[in-house]
Structure 1
Amino acid sequence: MRIKKRTVHIAILLLLFLSIMLPSTASAHTSLVEAKPAPDSQLKKSPKNITLTFSSKIEPDLSSITVYNQGGEQVKGTTENVSDDQKSLLLQLPELKTGEYKVSYQIVSTDGHPVEGTYNFTLTVPEPEKNKEVPMTELDQDEKEHQKITVKDKDMQTPKQVSNGETQHDHSTSTYLIRLLYYFSILALAGWVFWGIASSILTSSAKASYIKGSMVLRFFLFIMLLGYGYLQFNSLITGINDLQSLLFQTAFGFAWLLMFVTSMLGFLILHRSRIIDGLWISLLLIGEVIAGHAITYEPLFITSILDMAHLIAASIWIGGLFLIIVFWKHHRNFIIGFLPRFSKYALISILTLSVTGSLMAIIFLPNLSILWETLWGKVLLLKILAVLLVIIIGSIVRKALKNKQNTKLKHLIEWDFALMIGIVLLVGILTFVSPTQEFSTINQDRISFAMSIK
């Protein structure tokens, strides 16, 4: 259906605004919060291990540390260890000689984001005292703190070389576009199927158009899953064994596989039974919860429930709006009857989004000053403003429904649809970007303290 020029103009303005707001690079959800030895440190005694601590859980089978001497040769560590909470990675070292060393790490967070970086430290061993007994140092104390780390032998592989001290991520415009479309495809299809359950559309004259629209959305989701999977897997695998490990031994791989299988089943089982359709929606959204950032925060049960409720509410609102926009021209009578029910569900959905979003922000943010001190926080505030506008428009829509002002309703829904596009884009950014590393450059001490008391 042709949408009025006003809606298109609003959507384009939102896209342009977001493209300006969007940083060319952004930190993934997991970032390095502590390193021992520290970057650029000057040591007098050979460290017995390298210990890196990250802001959230990492995948043991896809994470590694490599150390190089000043000649560029790899220092052979004996074992790599992962802490019980899966946030610390430790590499045991042989006795090192005087010189400059580079630590290179490559990890994958449990929500599927690869993170890699390097830093240097310098070792100067005093020749006369090299073999003398020395008192326990801070490094020795650090070893005691990691006695609970579970040892896991791994084949050492040289990670990709990156610039010193930098954490590298792929955040090109095309990458963000695919991720945003992927996120929208999940919510739009889940909501579309939900309204097939919660409305009379499957028994109305609009049934054929609804089934056709569902098929288009299913193909769209399938393509987006393939594209998003390629983006995530391409930088992590070098062969079939790596792919098997990623799919069956990591949370993100399992989540992607679950959504992929669910997507395929959707072509065979949808719109035959309301119960089956409800289960299908649940599986799809559970996969997105597992693949999302909620599982990297504690308490896991609460963050997962909040994220699931957030996704359900978003899909109901987005799917309903999409249905109205698509069917307004050719199935006006059905939409007029559908609007009162949608208005009620939309109000509940927006309130749910507001509550769950606020609670997750409190849990995820180490400090509320992130809201005004970082670009991430400003994007979140912009999303809150957009939600407030949706609530205002919703109240006007309900009044127009009561007065049967159909022309005014169409204009209001177009505005609502444009705001929905903007909110989905903002949510997509917030889903794939974390404030932690950006905020650490502003106030590293506060984040370290917050992480230490979690």
Structure 2
Amino acid sequence: MWIVALVACLAGLGLSIAGASPAEAHAVLTSSTPARGAVIAEPPSRVQLVFSEGITLTSDSLRVLDPQGRRVDDARPRAEDGNAYAVGLRAELPNGTYTVAYQGVSADSHPIAGAFTFSVGAPSATSVSADAGTRNPDAGVVGRAYAAGRFGAYGGVILLFGASCFLLWCWPEGQAHSHLRRALAVGWGMAFCSTLALLALRGAYTGTGRVEDVADLSRLVQVLRTKTGVLLGVRAVLLIACAVLWVRRATSSAVGSRPSGWLLGWSALAAASLAGTWAGAEHASAGLQRLVAVPVDTVHLLAAGTWVGGLFVLTVALLRRTEVPADALARFSRVAFVSVCALVVTGLYQAWRQVGSPSALLETRFGLLLLAKLGAVAVLLCLGYVSHRWTRRFTRTAPGSPGPPLPRLRRSVASEAVLGLCVIALTAALTSTEPARSEASAAAAMSRVAGPVSVEVAFDTGGPKGSGSALVIIDPGLPGANGVHVTLTDPADMPLDVPAVEASLTSPSHGIGPLPIPLRRVSEGHWTVPDFQVPMPGDWELALTVRTSDIDQTTVRRPVRLR
């Protein structure tokens, strides 16, 4: 009955995680060309997107839709320098509003999606939904099932690590008890079944989110070609190898015999490899210091498994009135102490790497979840100290003499196990939440994105047909290459053709300029240059000279801020 209760408890916690708030995106769109909401005079030949970290794309990951919802891209997205990705456009676009929808997978295996619009010539009505491409991957049946599978995999491997350590190192004689062997089998079964479920769900989870796509074998093939798919496959193979190793141990050795050094060594290697499949696919695999973060995350999961998983097994033994020898309790107490020390050291490093600043603990969802986990671990340590004291009293009691009451130890260890489930639940939630450091970096990057800078000025050269207005657009308004577009219109808002237009930028504070902008006429009333270089951000002065005849011209100046 205890197995049914444990599985029910784990399933309930898994569903609570699945129903938690949707995860933030782990890679954030920081800039684009054309910029979000830009109105450009000439149709672009391609669309480029820059993200806060690298992402994995498919042929449908970048889509450009015309006002009627038809695709106008070439369906061949490609990676460029840094974290930039571009897709070409099929032909010259007519005027109107276009929607760019993107969807991909972050470097830490989490899917992202979003959309924005830009306009050519002037904005227009569009049949494309405003939320095109913004599907939340963690919503719906597939998203919730994937979250539950992630929790099941964590819970299963922690129980597997704890049961293996307890039965191989702390109390080999405990293998004679069927309920302890079942604990090991339950941990293995949860980890293996959850891994297969994640493999089956991943294609739909990172794609359309439709339940019917779970049965699409072509998506499974695509998943197996990705880093996450490979690691999930390796995890399944390792779990099968662990089962073979355990069966061989059970058939070739007497029940309760001490394991050989060979078996302990292979078991430790298998456990480290299993833990590495989590570290290699989650937050540790992306961001800063990955070569350090992955092994640290591996040690963290191993330590959590030997401590929390061992508590589950010890709880089962005590609740079933199994007589656990004092030396086994003492050995597990030492293992728990070493595991806690490893958890503290690796946890501090992970907190520094993923949070970045004290303020982020209170200002981000990741920080609040981490504080909740730290609080649960602190209470768990207090309960562990109480259990340790009871364990020491048991080990110091002389044979035949009355020892301390066993129910107190049972209650203390059972409380630890329940709280350990809460820690696992919070850990699963953290893995699906954007780290505070990357969230802050993405926000800072977004704050630096000015988008296109528009300046509209009126002019009057004093001659016939010499009055009108000029719209100057500097896109994207950042240091580096910018497109500069000048559109002249007369008082009736019709294109105004003139013999010459000149422009320049000057930075008085830095003593730079005037920098001439080499505009060329492309159509009636429209002058442009595609790649004018802005050397640095700051406050600039734009000078625009309009000549309407051989003797009539005027120069207007306006301040512009380029970030």
Give the one of 88, 91, 99 matched to 2:84.
Answer: 88
Output the amino acid matched with 1:255.
L
The residue number in structure 1 matching 2:315 is 325
Partner of 1:75: helix, strand, or coil?
coil
Aligned counterpart, 1:69? 66
Q: Distance in 1 between matches of 2:407 and 2:93?
A: 77
Mapped to 2, the partners of 1:205 and 1:15 lie a distance apart of 29
CA gap of 1:389–1:22, structure 2 versus 1, over 3 A, is farther
Gaps of 5+ in 1: 127-159, 450-454
In angstroms, what is the RMSD of aligned CA positions?
A: 3.5
For residues 129-169 of structure 1, the C-alpha deviation after alignment (integer angstroms, 9 at most, x for no partner) is: xxxxxxxxxxxxxxxxxxxxxxxxxxxxxxx9881473522
Query: Quick one: distance in 2 between partners of 1:375 and 1:259?
Result: 29
1:292-329: per-residue Cα shift (whole Å, max 9, x none)?
Answer: 22111222211101111111111111221111011114
Specify whether residues 280 and 62 from structure 1 end up closer, same or farther in structure 2 by C-alpha distance, changes over 3 A only: farther
Could you say which residue in structure 2 is the equivalent of 1:421?
421
- CA pair 438-261 structure 1, distance change in 2 beyond 3 A: closer
Distance 1:351 1:34, change over 3 A: farther
- Aligned match of 2:372: 382
Q: Deviations over 1:59-112 (max 9, x none)?
A: 245772110111222113374221355x33222335433210100111122343
Write the deviation string for residues 339-397 of structure 1: whole angstroms up to 9, x where unpaired: 22222222222232232222122222354422101232211101111111122222222
Greater Rg by CA: 2
CA contact (8 A) 2:79 2:86 kept: yes
CA distance in 2, matches of 1:88, 1:334: 59
Is 1:193 matched with 2:164? yes
Corresponding position: 1:102 with 2:66: no
Q: Residue 176 of structure 1 corresponds to which residue in structure 2?
A: 147
Q: Which residue of 2 aligns with 1:234?
A: 204
1:350, 1:387 within 8 Å by CA — same for their partners in 2? no
Range 74-83 or range 295-304, more displaced: 74-83
Query: Out of 372, 375, 381, which is 1:391 matched to?
Result: 381
Would the alpha carbon gap of residues 199 and 15 (structure 1) be closer, same or farther in structure 2, given more than 3 Å must change?
Answer: closer
How many Å apart are 1:448 and its aligned residue?
6.2
Evaluate the alpha carbon distance shift between residue 417 and residue 246 of structure 1 in structure 2; reply closer, same or farther with a 3 A threshold: same
Deviation at 1:22? 6.5
Give the 3-state SS of the residue equivalent to 1:196 in structure 2: helix
CA distance in 2, matches of 1:163, 1:437: 27
* 1:429 shift after superposition: 0.2
> Could you say which residue in structure 1 is the equivalent of 2:184?
214
2:62, 2:325 → 1: CA distance?
Answer: 58
More helix by share: 1
Give the TM-score taking structure 1 as reference length.
0.78
Asked if the contact 1:380/1:430 (under 8 Å) is kept, the reply is: yes
CA distance in 2 between counterparts of 1:162 and 1:40 reads 12
Aligned-partner SS, 2:434 = coil
Deviation string, structure 1 residues 207-264 (Cα, Å, up to 9, x no partner): 54443332233222222112222221234576544433321x3110110100111222
- Picking from 53, 56, 59, the partner of 1:56 is 53
Judging changes above 3 Å, is the alpha-carbon distance between structure 1 residues 63 and 306 closer, same or farther for their aligned structure 2 residues?
A: farther
What is the 5 A alignment of 1:24-423?
A: 24-61=21-58, 64-77=61-74, 79-83=76-80, 85=82, 87-93=83-89, 94-124=91-121, 163-164=131-132, 166=134, 168-172=136-140, 173-201=144-172, 203-204=173-174, 206=176, 208-236=178-206, 240-247=217-224, 249-270=225-246, 272=249, 273-330=263-320, 332-334=322-324, 336-365=326-355, 367-404=357-394, 405=404, 406-423=406-423
1:261-284 residue CA offsets vs partner (Å, 9 max, x unmatched): 122223322262323322321221
Take 1:391 and 1:437, find their aligned partners in 2: how far apart are those partners? 27
Give 2:470's aligned residue: none
Give the whole-Å Cα distance in 2 for the aligned partners of 1:62 and 1:251.
Answer: 18
Is the CA contact (8 Å cut-off) linking 2:192 and 2:236 kept in structure 1?
A: yes
C-alpha contact 2:380 2:419 (8 A) present in aligned 1: yes
Q: Secondary structure at the match of 1:219?
A: helix
SS of 1:35's partner is strand
Percent of aligned pairs with the same amino acid: 25
| CA–CA distance in structure 1, aligned partners of residues 17 and 290 of structure 2 | 34
User: What is the SS of the residue equivalent to 2:117?
Assistant: strand
Name the SS for the 2:36 alignment partner: coil
Partner SS, residue 270 of structure 1: helix
Contact kept, 8 Å, 1:28 with 1:432, in 2: the verdict is: no
Q: Is the 8 A contact 1:113 1:232 kept in 2?
A: no
Which ranges of structure 2 fall in alignment gaps of 5 or more residues?
208-212, 250-262, 395-403, 449-563
The letter for the 2-side match of 1:258 is V
- Which position in structure 1 is the counterpart of 2:443? 444
Determine if the alignment matches structure 1 residue 430 to structure 2 residue 444: no
**Equivalent-residue separation in structure 2 for 1:83 and 1:343 (angstroms):** 53
Q: Relative to structure 1, is the Cα distance of residues 319 and 60 closer, same or farther in structure 2, using a 3 angstrom cutoff?
A: same
**How many residue pairs align between the two structures?**
406
CA 53–187 in structure 1, closer or farther in 2 if over 3 Å, else same: farther
> Which AA in structure 2 matches 1:76?
D
Change beyond 3 A, Cα 1:62–1:429 = farther
Task: Check the 8 A contact 1:117/1:164 in 2, yes or no.
Answer: yes
- Show the counterpart of 1:153: none
Which secondary structure does the structure 1 equivalent of 2:21 belong to? Answer: coil
For the residues of structure 1 that align with 2:147 and 2:219, how far apart are their CA atoms?
A: 25
**Which residues of 2 match residues 8-27 of structure 1 at below 5 A?**
19=16, 23-27=20-24
Amino acid across the alignment from 1:187? I
Partner of 1:137: none
The aligned residue for residue 469 of structure 2 is: none
Q: Find the aligned partners of 1:41 and 1:366 in 2 and give their Cα distance.
A: 34
8 Å CA contact 1:112, 1:232 repeated in 2 = no
Quick check: 1:343–1:398 contact (8 Å CA) kept in 2? yes
For the residue of structure 2 that corresponds to 1:402, the secondary structure is: helix
Kindly indicate whether the alpha-carbon contact (under 8 Å) linking 1:386 and 1:423 is maintained by their aligned counterparts in 2: yes
AA matched with 1:428:
A
